[in-house]
Amino acid sequence: MAAAALGASCSRAESPPVGVGGAMGDTAEMILYKSRFAITDRGMRRAEVEGDSTYFFNDNTRMVILPLRTRFFNSSGVLEGIVTAREGTYDTRLATLEARGDVVMTAIDGKKIETPFARFDQRLNQMSTDSSFVLSEPDREVRGIGFVSDADLSTVRVMKMISTKSMRVAIPQ
């Protein structure tokens, strides 16, 4: 009987089955599809995180979100900014949200920062990176390495300036 089953399986030209979710899906404690959750501070919603797939690890204290879409809110509940990335990791123990791969942070006033990596520290309520970045504003563009900012990008401290380009400035006569 085993020989007949072996012979039957060898005669098929099908490819072997592929596991759903790959290596990350194999080791995750739980997987959610089309997930959405809130990051709160003393009962106030500070951020809303969404992903097509969310993988839970380390007793559900570390979540990997693919792709990452996050909306940040101020203490009055008003939208401050949006962060998107190919992947994100939220660690509930450290209260950090890391965004990786084509990270774009957009403020309500039109400022935008693009970088390969950024970290949001919930305890400090700030975004930061030690990677290269491009800050685009309506009247200038700044390229640098490393920054620290609040979620609405109103205060951006640049660690190392590479270049800056100002747009046309009208000089009164």
Which pLDDT value is given to residue 79? 94
Is the pLDDT at 83 greater than 90? The verdict is yes
150 in a structural domain: yes
Is the pLDDT at 82 greater than 60? The verdict is yes
* CATH number for the domain that contains residue 160: 2.60.450.10
173 in a structural domain: no
* Mean of per-residue pLDDT scores for the chain: 86
Residue pLDDT, tens place only, 28-46: 899 999 999 998 888 889 8
2 in a structural domain: no
Paired with 104 in beta bridges are 84, 114
The answer to whether residues 137 and 128 touch, using CB atoms and an 8 Å cutoff, is no
1 in a structural domain: no
CA nearest to 76, candidates 155, 153, 154, 152: 152
pLDDT band at residue 22 under the 50/70/90 scheme: low
72 in a structural domain: yes
* pTM of the predicted protein model: 0.80
Which pLDDT value is given to residue 41? 84
Is the pLDDT at 90 greater than 60? The verdict is yes
88 in a structural domain: yes
Residue pLDDT, tens place only, 48-65: 999 999 999 999 999 999
The answer to whether residues 62 and 92 touch, using CB atoms and an 8 Å cutoff, is yes
Is the pLDDT at 86 greater than 50? The verdict is yes
17 in a structural domain: no
**Count of domains observed in the chain:** 1
Residue 164 or residue 170, greater confidence? 164
pLDDT > 70 in the chain, percent: 85
Give dist(CA 32, CA 35) in Å, integer. 6
81 in a structural domain: yes
Give dist(CA 111, CA 35) in Å, integer. 27
Structural domain including 41 reads 23-166
